[in-house]
Amino acid sequence: MKDFIPHVLLASLLCIGYSSCKNTPNHQYTFTKTMVEDSAMVVTAHPIATQIGLDVLRDGGNAIDAAIAVQFALAACYPVAGNIGGGGFMVYRDARGESITLDFREKAPAAADADMYLDENGNAVSERSQAGELAAGVPGSVDGMAQAYARYSQLKNWKRLIQPSIEIARNGFHLTERQANLMNEKRVDFDQNNRAETVFNNQQEYSEGYMLVQSDLAKTLEAIRDQGRNGFYTGWVADKIVAQMKDGNGIISKQDLLDYQSVWRVPITTDYRGYEIISMPPPSSGGIALTQLLEIIEPYDIRKLGHHSTASIHLIAEAERRVYADRATHLGDSDYYNVPLEMLMDPDYIKERMSNFDPNQASISDSIKAGQAKESLQTTHFSIVDIEGNTVSLTTTINGAYGAKTVVQGAGFLLNNEMDDFSAKPGVPNMFGLIGAEANKVEPGKRMLSSMTPTIVLKDGKTIMSLGSPGGSTIITSVFQVIVNIIDHGMSATEAVASPRFHHQWKPDKIRFEEEGFDQSLVDSLSAMGHTVEQKGKIGKVECIYYNTEGMIEGAADIRADDTVMGF
Ligand code: GLY
């Protein structure tokens, strides 16, 4: 049974005032981390985007209207991951109980081929898939938002939804301390990957409170406001994208842009302890991997094993090892590759996968060397519920922080580096240390495999949770742990999201723990069982909305960054 009072207390503890702007002394952000309300809720990675989503809901928009406004707002106020130059996935459940997913993932250009990231000796060249024009897939976000609008908008006022993002871009917004620091950190990447100065490298040093004005982006957003999808995929914006490709080493053509289509897909669903989990099918691995993880641990009394006990972390790490091995071998874009969905989610298969589980000893991922998973807060997730109970869970990305680090000149937005999510060569790790095979090789028009896991959870046919996370390969395990924290350990959403996280992805063969929140004795006991352990950085950045047992809506924004929840 959740208690209302501790939530309120936690809310005041976690509300972090923001008032030390050097350039703009009057400026202030409040990063609200937890909130309990009864009607509607928005949780995003930035307070401006959260406010914009909330305003749409107050103006009579539904969760889809708010999601569209938030997607464009994040493109302006959260350029590290918010985007119009990338793609994403949305899981949507309407108030009548119908669930659907929207795949607006980027696609490989028609001129792409399986060897495009190999040098003359057949070695993968990661720089080519991670930065600059060649790293970019055909963007899907604008088409995705246009499709969501056409099918579900209640407000029926596209211009109203785009206008706030234009104002952020044209008039500017104040950088948070984190944003300023990250832009300074990535300065060298912007210098290397742009032939002209951009708004991300035109200052010697950015500081908290700096007013970031993006006039070119404002013009692009105006074209989208006035012409919808065509404002991006045709006309002068498309010309700028193609010119950028020709000036650099890119291959996206006018025809690729014209041809881009997002796709409505049937969700992956599974039952876990009487809860229905609704998540993303391929080309995301998220839904399948989440299903496998939950099915593997369901026979165990996780609560009795104890939260963050040696036994429970060992079990979960062993589950993750097996699930990520399946991911590497079997998962890719199901429009191009016959993903063995039924096999992967078959209870007998899952049971068999754990038949060699030893509760006292770590197993060994085979000896092929894989790269290190880099700490990164790229990608961004938001969750929205409206007053009717329509629920959006949407994760969107340009892949790495600031994507390809290349701005389309004159159009002001960052290109994605999503092509790195393909397997450039079987067995060679990508930027997240993930390896892949035939299933995820580059093919023209194909979508690269993703780990994004936007998820909605039901109980007795009613929506009770909407959640997701950034974090590359760690997305799946972050979402999984928050669900287990709530369902098995009885935590509030706020506690579940704040709780420290750990991650295993088969290769590299190690459990990674967040730097803070785990006792050395726990880490030592797992080492003694044969696990390689590493304590480093932060893992994931979950946004979660949860209908608690009193029927109130609890919003939880991750304490790990500038994320903010608002509701009414
Ligand atoms: N770009 C990260 C992912 O889609 O998993």
How far apart (Å, rounded) are the C-alpha atoms in residues 305 and 321? 19
Q: Is 103 in the pocket of ligand 1 (CB under 6 A)?
A: no
| CA–centroid distance, residue 472 to ligand 1 (Å) | 5
Q: Is 130 in the pocket of ligand 1 (CB under 6 A)?
A: no
DSSP assignments along 261-326, one per residue:
--EEEPPEEEEETTEEEEE--TTBSHHHHHHHHHHHHTTS-HHHH-TT-HHHHHHHHHHHHHHHHH
| Residue 86 DSSP one-character state | S
Sequence-ordered list of residues with C-beta below 8 angstroms from that of 150, at least 6 positions apart, any chain: none
Ligand 1 atom at minimum distance from 395 CA: 4
Ligand 1 atom at minimum distance from 448 CA: 4
| CA–centroid distance, residue 473 to ligand 1 (Å) | 7
* Alpha carbon 456 to its chain's center: 14
Confidence (pLDDT) at 247: 97
CB 278 within 8 A of CB 294: no
| CA–centroid distance, residue 347 to ligand 1 (Å) | 27
User: What is this structure's pTM?
Assistant: 0.94
CB 260 within 8 A of CB 416: no
Q: Is 472 in the pocket of ligand 1 (CB under 6 A)?
A: yes
Confidence (pLDDT) at 90: 98
H/E run at residue 350: helix 347-353
The total of other beta-carbon atoms located within 10 Å of residue 59's CB is 14
How far apart (Å, rounded) are the C-alpha atoms in residues 101 and 279? 8
Q: Please, is 202 exposed, middle or buried when counting C-beta atoms within 10 Å of its C-beta (0-12, 13-18, 19+)?
A: exposed
The total of other beta-carbon atoms located within 10 Å of residue 535's CB is 15
Q: Is 421 in the pocket of ligand 1 (CB under 6 A)?
A: yes
| CA–centroid distance, residue 237 to ligand 1 (Å) | 25
Give whole-number Cα distances, 123 to 118, 196, 363, in Å: 5, 31, 30
Confidence (pLDDT) at 4: 31
Residue 101 φ then ψ, to 5°:
-125, 150
* Cis previous bond, 347, omega within 30: no
Ligand 1 atom at minimum distance from 399 CA: 1
- Give Rg (Cα) of the chain: 22
Q: Is 397 in the pocket of ligand 1 (CB under 6 A)?
A: yes
Q: Is 454 in the pocket of ligand 1 (CB under 6 A)?
A: no
Q: Which residues form the catalytic set? A: 379
Positive or negative, the Cα torsion across 511, 516, 517, 522? positive
Task: Per-residue pLDDT tens, the chain, 568 aa: give them.
Answer: 233 323 333 333 333 333 333 344 446 899 999 999 999 999 999 999 999 999 999 999 999 999 999 999 999 999 999 999 999 999 999 999 999 999 999 999 999 999 999 999 999 999 999 999 999 999 999 999 999 999 999 999 999 999 999 999 999 999 999 999 999 999 999 999 999 999 999 999 999 999 999 999 999 999 999 999 999 999 999 999 999 999 999 999 999 999 999 999 999 999 999 999 999 999 999 999 999 999 999 999 999 999 999 999 999 999 999 999 999 999 999 999 999 999 999 999 999 999 989 999 998 876 323 333 344 557 999 999 999 999 999 999 999 999 999 999 999 999 999 999 999 988 888 888 888 888 999 999 999 999 999 999 999 999 999 999 999 999 999 999 999 999 999 999 999 999 999 999 999 999 999 999 999 999 999 999 999 999 999 999 999 999 988 889 999 999 999 999 999 9
| CA–centroid distance, residue 140 to ligand 1 (Å) | 14
Query: How many helical (H) and strand (E) elements, i.e. helices and strands, does the chain have?
Result: 20, 21
How far apart (Å, rounded) are the C-alpha atoms in residues 348 and 351? 5
Residue position matching structure tokens 């010697």: 204
Pocket test for ligand 1, best of 374, 379, 396 (most atoms within 8 A of CB): 379
| CA–centroid distance, residue 225 to ligand 1 (Å) | 27
Sheet holding 41-44, edge to edge: 263-265, 99-103, 87-93, 391-397, 380-385, 41-44, 564-567
How far apart (Å, rounded) are the C-alpha atoms in residues 82 and 66? 15
Q: Is 420 in the pocket of ligand 1 (CB under 6 A)?
A: no
Q: Is 468 in the pocket of ligand 1 (CB under 6 A)?
A: no
Q: Is 451 in the pocket of ligand 1 (CB under 6 A)?
A: yes
Ligand 1 atom at minimum distance from 451 CA: 5
Q: What is the dihedral of CA 238, 240, 244, 247, to 10 degrees?
A: 120
How far apart (Å, rounded) are the C-alpha atoms in residues 476 and 501? 12
Token pair, residue 565, equals 């929840």
Ligand 1 atom at minimum distance from 418 CA: 1
| CA–centroid distance, residue 450 to ligand 1 (Å) | 4
Confidence (pLDDT) at 304: 98
Give whole-number Cα distances, 102 to 185, 411, 510, 540, in Å: 34, 26, 34, 22
Q: Is 499 in the pocket of ligand 1 (CB under 6 A)?
A: no
* Intra-chain end-to-end CA distance of the chain, in Å: 23
For atom 1 of ligand 1, which residue has the closest CA? 399
Confidence (pLDDT) at 11: 34
Q: Please, is 200 exposed, middle or buried when counting C-beta atoms within 10 Å of its C-beta (0-12, 13-18, 19+)?
A: buried
Sequence-ordered list of residues with C-beta below 8 angstroms from that of 4, at least 6 positions apart, any chain: 36, 550, 552
Pocket test for ligand 1, best of 105, 280, 421, 431 (most atoms within 8 A of CB): 421
